[in-house]
Structure 1
């Protein structure tokens, strides 16, 4: 099969070629619950750029060369002898983790913390290819209204945004405020999820005018340009106290300090983006009683819930399509901020 393969890390992201488009062996069924999916769409994520940079080599055990791509959807191509819930030809979206289902975390539905798992595109071959090896337990059948190429990024970008927005929606009340920092690939989904799940006023902060327009299109009630004065503007919009919930989809640079400054006392700061550090004096944590919440992808049931919202037309993905052979261009466009929403590779 054809695949876009990562052969070496590039810490500066300056090489002309991040991945190599080439022929590789087709994946093979090994376990009775294995499923091979013919890829209809593979999302291109900022995490993929972090993989290219080599950041993830200190977190996971993976040997180069390997195939990135952890946001995948397509059609069932082949199934193991023990597979019963899907059949060849079924359109499916893949939960990003492949788990056995036997550990306690799995039995509690905490897929992200399973002790027996693999993460295609992170620590195993992923979906920047014509075919993907996954597991039956990871697959959700798609309704007729949703095509694989249009929903692939929901498996990480959408699911992560949904999980954070769902947590926030549980305590947000009418008349309260939610701030979304970053209206890109994840943020534009988070805005729509907040609108679908709660009645809080949504303030979106971004440096890009294109992203702010996308935020308005997705239902943001207020937009604030990230020009160095965003904290003051958010405080003004919230009556001087800050927001009850801040969801930070950036998580690096000065976004963290500003996000915490936008969070009112006893409020919640949800960190989704990564690359930076949270540095806060303990006395400030005590006197403000702010809660800092980490977010790691999401559960299988949460992906089912997100597909239900998409099926009803309550959440839409803004995507830009590239051929699989154009993987380098997609990665470079993402790196240089030239992708509105999410990039999707199509074999």
Structure 2
């Protein structure tokens, strides 16, 4: 089968991956599931993997097939698999988990002690077929196109996971700020609108992104390059500040914005990454401001997000690309030239 593989770390996206012929995976294990990939979303994390940013956090052995936002049709199942059958459309939770360690027993899929992460630690879905397991696949209604829904496997579940934590501390009339209305942020706005009665203020430097935020339910949009965001948030909230802030950018400038716009007891959920948090300890003590990290989400949360998709509450803005265009996609995302999410069709 054909697969897009990383052979060496590089900052040059235009030729980062090569299209190789590799053996098709088989369902040799009793719980294995082989999925014929219909769509695999390209994520900023893929760029970071190419750059070698993840080598300090997870074991990686090159060459590696990237792609961790995967959906398709079940092609083969192991002898013990009962929840899905061949020919069934599915979306894949990003990680294969063991189910027996303590984090798995607690439902914390991302903390599995025996986790395998296709696209980061094992071969992923920028290929014709993907090996995963029964614990990772969620059946889809026939009306749902696996190609369109694929980015929800990471972008969607990550945004949903952050929003679900934020919603727990949002009351009707409170204000939630969304920083960055890109591939994740536009999902986050829809989840906030569907799951809370808070007012939403969206920040983005791109006019088209602010227009999209307005269409998706934001009550206010701001351009951080031309407007005084703290003053505007203060005015919008009558001096209270935002109770919850979701940072889908994760740059130094956006994480630093949190204490200036947050209410007492506010949280800034760091979803995007690449920058740093540089704040005096007193910033966290005064007003009990908190930074909270976001690592994808639980299997059950992907089920919940799929339910929102099936109800028409959350829609993805996607552009499709052939597998041969893989490096073009990497380069476009590196230069901020992709609106919404890019989906590879192997």
Q: What is the TM-score with the length of structure 2 in the denominator? A: 0.97
Is contact 2:14-2:328 (8 Å) kept?
A: no
Moved more, 182-191 or 249-258: 249-258
Alignment deviations for residues 90-119 of structure 1 (CA, whole Å, 9 cap, x no partner): 000000010110111111111011101100
| Preserved contact between residue 224 and residue 234 of structure 1 (Cα < 8 Å) | no
Equivalent position SS for 2:256: helix
Equivalent of 1:66 in 51, 64, 67: 64
Q: Does the 8 Å contact 1:259/1:269 carry over to 2? A: yes
**Aligned pair partner of 1:25 in 23, 26, 35:** 23
Pairing of 1:150-169 with structure 2 (within 5 A):
150-169=148-167
For the pair 1:272 / 2:258, whether they are aligned, the reply is no
Secondary structure of 1:317's aligned partner: coil
Query: 1:1-347 residue pairs with structure 2 within 5 A?
Result: 1-10=1-10, 13-227=11-225, 229-347=228-346
Q: Quick check: 2:252–2:277 contact (8 Å CA) kept in 1?
A: no
Q: Distance in 2 between matches of 1:78 and 1:196?
A: 36
**Residues matched between the structures, number:** 345
Is the Cα contact below 8 Å between 1:35 and 1:133 reproduced in 2? yes
The alpha-carbon deviation at position 269 of structure 1 amounts to 1.3
Q: 1:15 deviation in Å?
A: 4.9
CA drift of 1:264 comes to: 1.3
Which stretch shows the higher mean deviation, 276-285 or 110-119? Answer: 276-285
Q: Deviations along 1:271-327, whole A, 9 cap, x unmatched?
A: 111112212212221122112211110001100000000000000000010011111
Q: 1:181 touches 1:259 (CA, 8 Å); kept in 2?
A: no
What's the offset of the Cα at 1:263? Answer: 1.2
Which shows bigger deviation, 258-267 or 150-159? 258-267
* Larger displacement relative to structure 2 (27-36 or 131-140): 27-36
Assess if the C-alpha contact under 8 Å between 1:248 and 1:270 holds in 2: yes
Segments of 5+ residues of structure 2 without an aligned counterpart are none
CA contact (8 A) 1:266 1:289 kept: yes
1:240 deviates by 2.6
Distance 2:168 2:111 in 1: 22
8 Å CA contact 2:75, 2:87 repeated in 1: yes
User: How big is each residue's C-alpha offset from its partner over 1:206-225, in whole Å with a ceiling of 9 and x where there is no partner?
Assistant: 11112112211211111000
Deviations 1:171-227 (A, max 9, x none): 211111000001000000000000000010000001111211221121111100020
Distance, in Å, in 1 between the alignment partners of 2:170 and 2:8 is 45
| Offset of residue 232 of structure 1 | 2.5
Structure 1 unpaired stretches of 5+: none
CA distance in 2 between counterparts of 1:332 and 1:253 reads 23
Q: Distance in 2 between matches of 1:174 and 1:63?
A: 48
RMSD over aligned CA atoms reads: 1.1
Higher mean C-alpha deviation, range 129-138 or range 265-274: 265-274
